Chain A
Amino acid sequence: MRLLAAVAVVAALLPLVPLAIWSVSDAWPYPSLLPPSTTTRGLSLLVAPRTGAVHALALSLGIGAAVSVLAVLIGLPAGRAVGLYRFRGRRLVQLALLAPVIVPGLAVVLGLQVFFVRYGLSGTVPGVVLVQLVPTVPYAATVLGAGFANLDVDHERVARTLGAGPVRTTWSVTLPLLRPTIVAAALFCFLISWSEYVLTLLVGAGRVQTLPLQLFAAIGATDTTLAAALALLVVVPPLLAVLACSRVLSGRSAAGIGLGRL
């Protein structure tokens, strides 16, 4: 089991090795196993203000955090309704919640962009956060819906008989019980936001330069060294995020996520 896990981790990280090598080399001609010379140009470009990589990293982190929080906040009531209550048209509501990810994002955003331009949100960070809710809220609502479906709401009834009003019950009982689900939903949303390209490009109108946009630009400019260095910068934060969440998501509480019901 341990061996299998080790193999899986190595297999997942293996494609990153050439990236790491590229990021510290100027040229890597065909027959050589390793690049003939190393350079710090790629890494120094990352921190150079001119490149804007640091700014892009901060922006991506900020947008990812904002999108995760907002998507979970919107997904909580939606997930509660879908996961907890049996009502006429529930399947239809579930389908409607998933619709934005069923329809290709490009088609959605081409329709939405008109409104972003009209309300002056085009080319702004709030505009990008807003448009990234389109692909994230469906996942948040679905994951949280599964969490609510596995929740024993009698816990809430007990809390009320112990004197806790609706707000206190939500804060002290419901949210702690849903903690693994909320962490999972937020993580998904962050990962989606982190690698979002098309929506950011169209609504950000090139003025909101997140890391994926920078990466594409570097690839377009055929600067392999910078592209490889940027790619490493894109890869590391999600890995750290998953690692940080793994404690909450593993073990006994993993059952609470209800991912099996997705």
Chain B
Amino acid sequence: MSATAAGGLLELSGVSKRFGSTTAVDDVSLTLRPGSFTALLGPSGCGKSTLLSLVAGLVHPDAGRINLDGGSLLGAPAERRPVGLVFQKPLLFPHLSVLANVGFGLRVRGSSRRETRRAALEMLERVQLAGLEQRRVGELSGGQEQRVALARALVLSPRVLLLDEPFSALDSELRATMRRLVRTLADETGVTTVFVTHDQAEAVDVADDVALVLDGRLAGHGAASGFWSAPSSLAAARFFGVVNEIAGQVHGGVFSGQGWGAVPCDVEDGPAVLVVRPERLVVDAVPGPGPAVTATVHEVRFAGTHLVVRLARPDGGALVAHVPVGTDVTAGSTVGVSAPTDACTVLLKDVTARD
């Protein structure tokens, strides 16, 4: 048996779930390609875990559809969904050996002892735990426990693998190792994978796609790099570390405000916000091409790979720029600040964003 059941096409449409008076998941529609690896990213308490529970069948949605390869999953109880779930805690069964833990699902499915043993041993080898099969669960380290949990889910060849902050209890070096392991296993098996995390660095390190969840709503879904270069909303931009927000107005497809003029955009007329990542701002005695303003250098701090320059605008606005080490800026001097047009994103003044 090659454990390569190809991943499934997972489609959520209009999925909502309320617990009492709080809305955990609010009208989420999301399509995950077969074999894709998606990081479900968001601050804690944003509904990410509930979303996984909904897909796994541990929680039932109040509204919406969840389809796998075109067929609805909602009629099937958790135990009959081809979905694997790994929690933050390993949750190994303490009364069983490592081998029996990995073989649990196969035995439940009615596999023979012999076949279960063979498949479990093979899976343990793939998570680099060969030789530990007779260990008691309590004798394992945190990383080993999570490897067993991973093997226990993957040995069933699920169509979808859900990982709910699986490594957040581990130290950062081990976390990186485990991420590479998960990524390798996901690529080998082709399983459609969803990796929940609140850490954007972890998200882009492990996943190709990012689905951003804020306050129970999907705030963007796409290639990870897009969240840096062209955030889809002010809230998404803020989550990804945009600190420069320039309020202004759009008139006829051109943004202007706080000295920044003539930034073309396709936002409808009205109040808008121009956002620029700090590392894309150019600080120079002579303003470069593109939108530019003058500002006073308030503070310069060395941050290892770059300098953090805090700037004050005459009108009271503040800007933060990350510039290469060695750039000639000194506190108190007046400089020109500019940004290439492709670094500027004009967004609607998001009335629903909670400040």
Contacts and interface: CB of A to CB of B under 8 A. Distances in A.
A152 B94 CA distance: 12
Interface string A209-227: 0000000000000000000
A152 B104 CA distance: 18
Contacts of B94: 177
Interface in A128-161: 152, 154-155, 157-161
A159 B81 CA distance: 12
A177 B94 CA distance: 8
Given A152-B89, A154-B87, A162 B105 contact: yes
B354 interface: no
Contacts of A177: 93-95
A188 B175 CA distance: 46
Interface in B51-104: 56-58, 77-81, 83-85, 87, 89, 91, 93-95, 104
A179 interface: yes
A163 interface: yes
A173 B79 contact: no
Contact of B109 (A159, A163, A179): A163
B80 A176 contact: no
Interface residues of B, number: 25
Interface in B299-321: none
Interface string A157-197: 11111111100100011001101000000000000000000
B63 to A, nearest CB: 23
A157 B84 CA distance: 11
A158 B95 contact: no
Contact of B153 (A155, A162, A172, A179): A162
A154 B81 CA distance: 17
A173 to B, nearest CB: 6
Contacts of A161: 56-58, 78-79, 81, 83-85, 153
A176 B84 CA distance: 23
Contacts, number: 61
Contacts of B83: 161
Contacts of A158: 85, 87, 91
B237 interface: no
Contacts of B105: 162-164
Contacts of A159: 93, 104
Interface string B265-298: 0000000000000000000000000000000000
Nearest to B88: A154
Given A157-B58, A158-B85, A164 B108 contact: yes
Nearest to A176: B95
A179 B105 CA distance: 21
Nearest to B82: A163
A159 B94 CA distance: 13
Contacts of B80: 163
B79 A164 contact: yes
Contact of A154 (B84, B89, B95): B89
Contacts of A176: 93, 95
Nearest to B89: A154
B156 interface: yes
Nearest to B96: A176
Interface of B: 56-58, 77-81, 83-85, 87, 89, 91, 93-95, 104-105, 108-109, 138, 152-153, 156
Closest 4 CB pairs of A and B: A162-B105, A160-B78, A176-B95, A161-B85
9 contacts: A155-B91, A157-B58, A157-B87, A161-B56, A161-B83, A162-B152, A163-B79, A176-B95, A252-B138
Given A154-B91, A162-B153, A163-B105, 17 more contacts: A155-B91, A157-B58, A157-B85, A158-B87, A160-B57, A160-B77, A160-B78, A160-B79, A161-B57, A161-B84, A162-B79, A162-B104, A162-B152, A164-B104, A176-B95, A179-B95, A252-B138
